[in-house]
Structure 1
């Protein structure tokens, strides 16, 4: 029996180089964080983690990241749908602007959002008149995370929508399905893996975002202080144990969330027979 040829020549060598690179760039730095945090012992670890300030910052970071990712999931899908299915004036401009959060320095984005949504800002002044504060509140943090996370959803869903032929919808309509049935039974199952991927990417970016948030957050302890800022503060105080402890907790919680999302994505892909590249 002839030996089956491999697509990539020298697979063993290629795999070895890949694993070595991954170990040096990802695994070793993360391992160092875990080892340094556990060096203080479990009592010291739980003492730092049990601080009200740390718990509040972690709660704020993860809750705003989840909410922002959920908003991006909805509006990113709508935006991707419009870009794929409709022709309108300025479409290329809108399509190009989606990638601006990738290229724009995050600090510039934070300053711009603060200038717009502060109490005396161009937009914030109108909300202030009805008693709604945006800047220096969790609302402002969520807004910043929506801004930096929207491209992840759009760019993940857009190619899947482009490959989705309209014949599927026409066939469903010919078989008697109404619009809602076509969306829920035909379109949504196909888009689900891509939506979950976009949600996971937006959430992961939001949890660790720093530059665009610190300007609009106000950075008030127990209220608008995010976990990445608290890590920086601990490092400036030479409290490396406190910084690494917070970082480890963020890594573990983020990994659990992303693992659950990836499992759901795999389940959805098996159901639809599609994968997201």
Structure 2
């Protein structure tokens, strides 16, 4: 029996060098920046809210006015995310699958909410949808009041959230070759069956990601909403505005309590959506 040469013997395993040069340094910088920008400010909110006793916290964070603001904020954000989830898919489909005159202009307009200051967007939307605005003057005779009520909040949040869904779905649609749809059609599937059983399942994780981004962005929106919402307590007052009001009254702990409730609800929503995405990836795998 021949012995194995020393050169071919198994060597002890050593730690492999990282493919990224300076991994320790870059990871340290990353964690430091995340701590300064994200973790420390969020911790400060919790610490400031902890100055209140449980009874004071409940009185500030779960007052009737605060609950009405939560209901409007999260309800309008969810409604806007659903609307963007539907029309965002249609917009991305048109931009990826078809060529038409002015496509580059439409493509640039999708990114307009990213570049436009939120206050400018709010003023523009209020001008358009007010009772005497370009669009609102035609809605008023129909009994539809689009501005200065909860509907105006949904309109503003839909405006600022659309790009998140479109830009998240576009790369997936580009990777989804048209041959897949043609193969489904050759097997006897009609257009509805092709969309329902081939296209939508492939877009599912990306759609959930875009939905989560649009929802999270809408929950924290302030500038574009206050100009079109009307800001009436118990009716059209959003939670970020209520936080600003508390800060203007030097009620910093109460403002932190409301912010902590919103932060917790947002984290819970994102956790649920990430869990659904992980489950969808396991199903696909």
Q: Which range, TM-score by smaller chain?
A: over 0.9
1-structure distance, mates of 2:246, 2:122: 22
Aligned partner of 1:175 in structure 2 is: 187
Q: Which residue of 2 aligns with 1:80?
A: 92
Indicate conservation of the 8 Å contact 1:154/1:198, yes or no.
yes
Per the alignment, residue 6 of structure 1 pairs with 18
Paired residues for 1:209-220 under 5 Å:
209-220=221-232
Given the alignment of the two structures, is residue 259 of structure 1 paired with residue 281 of structure 2, yes or no?
Answer: no
Residue 164 of structure 1 is matched in structure 2 by 176
Matched, 1:95 2:107: yes
The root-mean-square deviation of aligned C-alpha atoms, in Å, is 1.2
- Give matches, 1:216-255, under 5 Å: 216-255=228-267
Counterpart of 1:29 in structure 2 is 41
Residue 215 (structure 1) shift: 0.3
TM-score normalised by the chain length of structure 1: 0.95
Q: How does 1:6-155 map to 2 (within 5 A)?
A: 6-155=18-167
TM-score (norm 2): 0.93
1:177-230 superposed Cα distances (whole Å, 9 cap, x missing partner): 222222122111111111001000100110000000000001000000000001
Aligned-pair CA distance for 1:169: 0.9
SS at match of 2:203: helix
Aligned-pair distance for 1:38? 1.2
Pair 1:206-2:226 in alignment: no
- Distance apart, 1:253 and its partner CA: 0.2
**Post-superposition shift, 1:10?**
3.3
Q: Deviations over 1:122-164 (max 9, x none)?
A: 1101111011111011111100000000000000001110111
Shift of 1:13: 3.1
Write out per-residue CA displacement over residues 15-58 of structure 1, whole angstroms, 9 at most, x where no aligned residue. 22222221121111100100110111211101112311111001
Larger deviation: 176-185 or 40-49?
176-185
Runs of at least 5 residues in structure 2 that lack an aligned partner in the other structure: 1-10
- Bigger-Rg structure (1/2): 2
User: Does 161-170 or 11-20 show the bigger shift?
Assistant: 11-20
Q: Which moved more, 1:209-218 or 1:264-273?
A: 264-273
Residue pair 1:189, 1:268 contacting (<8 A) in 2 also: no
Tell me, which stretches of 5 or more residues in structure 1 are unaligned? none
Offset, 1:104:
0.5
SS in 1 for 2:76: helix
Say whether the 8 Å CA contact 1:137–1:217 is kept in structure 2.
yes
Q: Output the CA distance in 1 between the equivalents of 2:193 and 2:275.
A: 26
